[in-house]
A and B are shown apart, each in its own frame.
Chain A
C-alpha cells in the first residue's frame, strides 16, 4: 500500500510562473519530509527538507509547505525555469532513516 502519494504524474507550467507539486501521505507518524529532483539517466538529487515542527521551509526559489492535519506536503517553485524540468519525488519518514517515496511528478517548464 502506497503510504506516500503523488497523484499528478505530470505538470506543465510556463516559464516564470509558479509550479506547485503536491504530495499526500497516510501515516500520521511521519515527521520528516524531503523533496528530490531527478533528471533522466541520473539518480535523484536532494532538493529541500522539512520536519514536522515547521510548516514552511524556504530555499531560494523552492519552498516546501507542510500541513500535518491534512497530511499534505507541497513544493512551490517560483519563478519556474526550463532547467527545473525533471521528475520530482516527495519522501516521508518516521525515523529519518527509512523513507517512503511517492511515484513522482514529471514537471515540464515551457520556455
Chain B
C-alpha cells in the first residue's frame, strides 16, 4: 500500500503477557519512529530508526520495551510483561530521511491491558 501500515489495529491483552506491534513503513523511507498516545496526553516519542545507524532509544519508558527494524523496513515494537499503564495508542511514522520532518503516520494500534 501507499501508506504506513500498522497491525493489529486493536489488541487486548492480559496484564503480564508480552505483545508485539508491527509497522510497515512507506517503501524507501529510511526514517521510522514509534510514538504512543495515552488518554489525555500528547504524543510521546519512544524510539527512532534511521537507516543502518544505531536506533535512538531515549524515549523508551522502561526495559520492558524494545524495538527492532529488520532489513531497514518493517519494525516490531515489543512490550514484555505488559502493565495497565501501557494501555495507549501506539503510532508508527516514517519519513524519507532524518531531515524531512513531514512524517507519514500509520493509524496506530490501540493496546488495552486488562
Seen from chain A, the residues whose Cβ lies within 8 Å of a Cβ on chain B are 2, 4, 32, 34, 36, 41-46, 49, 89, 91, 93, 96-104
A102: chain B residues within 8 A (beta carbon): 42
Interchain residue pairs A-B with the least CB separation, the first 10: A43-B105, A101-B43, A101-B42, A46-B102, A43-B107, A103-B42, A98-B45, A44-B105, A43-B106, A96-B101
User: What is the interface of chain A mostly: helix, strand, loop, or mixed?
Assistant: strand
A49: chain B residues within 8 A (beta carbon): 101-102
Asked if B103 and A46 make an inter-chain contact with CB atoms under 8 angstroms apart, the answer reads: yes
Seen from chain B, the residues whose Cβ lies within 8 Å of a Cβ on chain A are 4, 31, 35, 40-45, 48, 50, 56, 58-59, 91, 93, 98-99, 101-108
Asked if B41 and A103 make an inter-chain contact with CB atoms under 8 angstroms apart, the answer reads: yes
B41: chain A residues within 8 A (beta carbon): 103
Q: Given the interface contacts A91-B43, A103-B40, does A43 sit within 8 Å of B91 by beta carbon?
A: yes
Q: Given the interface contacts A97-B56, A98-B58, does A41 sit within 8 Å of B40 by beta carbon?
A: no
Q: Given the interface contacts A41-B107, A43-B91, A43-B106, does A100 sit within 8 Å of B42 by beta carbon?
A: yes
Measured in the bound complex, the distance between the Cα atoms of B44 and A98 in whole Å is 9
Who on chain B is nearest to A45 by CB? B105
Q: Given the interface contacts A41-B107, A43-B106, A98-B48, does A89 sit within 8 Å of B42 by beta carbon?
A: yes
Asked if A43 and B102 make an inter-chain contact with CB atoms under 8 angstroms apart, the answer reads: no
